[in-house]
Structure 1
Amino acid sequence: MEMKKRINLELRNRAPEEMEMKMMKRKRKMKLVHLKDMRRRRR
């Protein structure tokens, strides 16, 4: 229990910018995959 709390605090304290970057990358990847799927369906 204590370990989990400590880990959560560390994650929360870690640079929010880092989290934003990760989210942006994930979103970009999803968008790329979606575009590829759209192209595939059009043919």
Structure 2
Amino acid sequence: DLESLGEEVRKRVFQNSGIELEWEIMRVGEPAPAKAKLADK
């Protein structure tokens, strides 16, 4: 999901450069519940 990917990118950039990225989009609503992976079905 996009939010997880974005958070992973933010974490890696900070670990490698010390730069803390900020979200440039507004996230609204409640996070979706975790979805089962296709391999789990």
TM-score, normalization: structure 2? 0.41
* More helix by percentage: 1
Larger Rg: 1
